[in-house]
Structure 1
Amino acid sequence: NPIPEMDQLISWLEERLPDDDGRVALVHGDYRLDNFIWDADSQRIVAVLDWELSTLGHPFADLAYQCMQLRLPDLGGSIVGLQGLDRQALGIPDEARYVERYCERRGLDGMDDWPFYLGFSFFRLGAIAQGVAKRAQQGNASSAEASKVGAMVQPLAQLALASIHAA
């Protein structure tokens, strides 16, 4: 079934595709807190797990995907975000501070195309969810819960549109 919000998001992304700035990095593809192993004493990351989506791509992709998690509520099923949690108590910075620190460490003055990368992260997750739902519909899903994942696509697209228009 068509999802009008995904169509709107696709159009928005097509109209705002940034010029190629030549930046290329090893991109994890699923960069989020629950794919890290932390040292309990130093609170430093000692390992990053789950590399099957890794590829060469733009370095802002992983940053935007991580920040998307800050905007995601618990949508049920396999998509659980960090919105609604007391992130400050957990030591998780807000998005503005996270991006600011990234820019400081990379020597950047800011990110003009930040809404694009954030919107693309939502689109990508929605497309993955739609693929999982389609496999469930065809009877070849890897999980009994897969059929529920399709219901998350429209809320993801709605969050994407709200995020890009607020940025």
Structure 2
Amino acid sequence: MDSFNGQARLQSRGVSVPGMARTVTQPDWLTPDIVDMAAVARWGAQAGLPEGPVEDVGRIGGGTQNVVLRMRWAGRDLVLRRPPEHPRTGSNAALLREMRLLAALAGTDVPHPGYVAGCTDEDVLGGVVFYLMEAVDGINPGAAIEEPYLSDAAARHAAALDTAAALARLASVDHVAIGLGDMGKPEGFLARQVPRWLDHLASYSQLPGYPGSTLPHIDALARWLTAHRPPDAPAGIVHGDYHLNNVLLARDAPRVAAIVDWEMCTIGDPLLDLGWLLVTWPEGSPDLVTGGPLAELGALPGPDELVAHYAARSDRDLSAVEWYTVLAGLKLAVVIEGTHARALAGQADPAVGLRLHRAAVAGLERAAVIAGV
């Protein structure tokens, strides 16, 4: 659920790493409890990364899950991702899956940040894994819009359509051919979704201070989804959190430069990603809007145009696209309600938790309208 929404750079200090021709610039706000950059630099030397200064370290804000840092490593712009400051059960496993998928996407036509190297030794950063990827020079629609999109309505429209095209390209990748044949459990993927996410929502009650879910329409949507579930479709890569805040738009042409935040990736039914894009699309509820600055400028395609654009580039059966959209609304609500629950437990920003709770409610309201419940 992270997004590349801007970057904070504060006063930094240089730290020399003993035995290495490397100076690490550790910002004053970045404590070793979050990311010990000297430890990262020592690991990088052992991993064969180039010698040189690690500097201009800045946190990329906007996400509510992982810690994301941008830096200059021996003159190369890189991004580091690690689990959140308060890791949850499964945080390391999710990041390991993300590493594997990004590495496998190399050479495909899916726009993504290039994978550089990953650390699977949890001792390096005190219990968490992490990885480095190439920094992408792109514009995040959820942060601040720049040219050509600022003044060119046609460019905004074309780039927004390309979010559907990029998703179709991802869905067409042969995951077995790129070495992901044993990733995930695609058999019975759709049948597992509703019970899995209902159980996940119930698990938040274990967090101190969370009184239990007050989210609307959960039971009615669960019944509708179970009664209307479509047949299983061919398996493919699922991004798992596909919306405007998780893409970077190119500066040189109206297109997607990279899809980011692969934390929830798996192998399953890729049409869930299309449903996710549709249920979060900038229309209707202001609490649910993604790509805020882009949406405010207008000239974006509507949901029907997105579906048609995807369909023209895919051989998948889209006759049940509304079902996938409703499922996405339910799943998204459960996922982001987790931040609200952790905020009440003192593990997340209360303001962010409340904002995401409102977005969860908005997503369920939209899903309920689509399902007619």
**Using a 3 Å threshold, how does the CA distance of structure 1 residues 100 and 151 change in structure 2: closer, same or farther?**
closer
Structure 1 residue 164 and structure 2 residue 371: aligned? yes
Cα drift, residue 152 of structure 1: 3.9
Taking a change above 3 Å as real, the CA distance of residues 156 and 37 of structure 1, as seen in their structure-2 partners, is closer
Which runs of no fewer than 5 residues in structure 2 stay unpaired? Answer: 1-212
Q: Hey, what's the Cα distance between the residues in 2 that align with 1:72 and 1:24?
A: 32
Q: Is the 8 A contact 1:73 1:81 kept in 2?
A: no
The aligned residue for residue 106 of structure 1 is 314
CA contact (8 A) 2:275 2:324 kept: yes
The structure whose RCO (Cα within 8 Å, separation 6+) is larger is 1
Shift of 1:96: 0.8
Residue 268 of structure 2 corresponds to residue 57 of structure 1: yes
Structure 1 gap segments, 5+ residues each = none
Aligned residue number for residue 68 of structure 1: 279
Aligned to 1:20: 232
The CA RMSD measured in Å over matched residues stands at: 2.5
- Aligned counterpart, 2:289: 80
Letter in 2 for 1:98: L
112-121 vs 126-135, which moves further: 126-135
Deviates further, 9-18 or 132-141: 132-141
Residues in 2 aligned to 1:43 and 1:30: alpha-carbon distance in whole angstroms: 22
Q: Within 2, Cα distance between the matches of 1:138 and 1:131?
A: 10
Amino acid at match of 2:245: D
Judged with a 3 Å threshold, the aligned counterparts in structure 2 of structure 1 residues 82 and 162 are, in CA distance, closer, same or farther, namely: farther
SS of residue paired to 2:258? strand
Matches within 5 A, 1:78-157: 79-81=288-290, 85=296, 87-88=298-299, 92-108=300-316, 111-141=318-348, 143-148=349-354, 149-157=356-364
TM superposition shift of 1:74: 1.9
Identity of aligned residues (%): 24
TM-score (norm 1): 0.80
Question: 2:256, 2:240 → 1: CA distance?
Answer: 17
Q: CA deviation at 1:105?
A: 0.8
Q: Quote the Cα distance in structure 2 between the aligned partners of 1:130 and 1:31.
A: 17
Larger Rg: 2
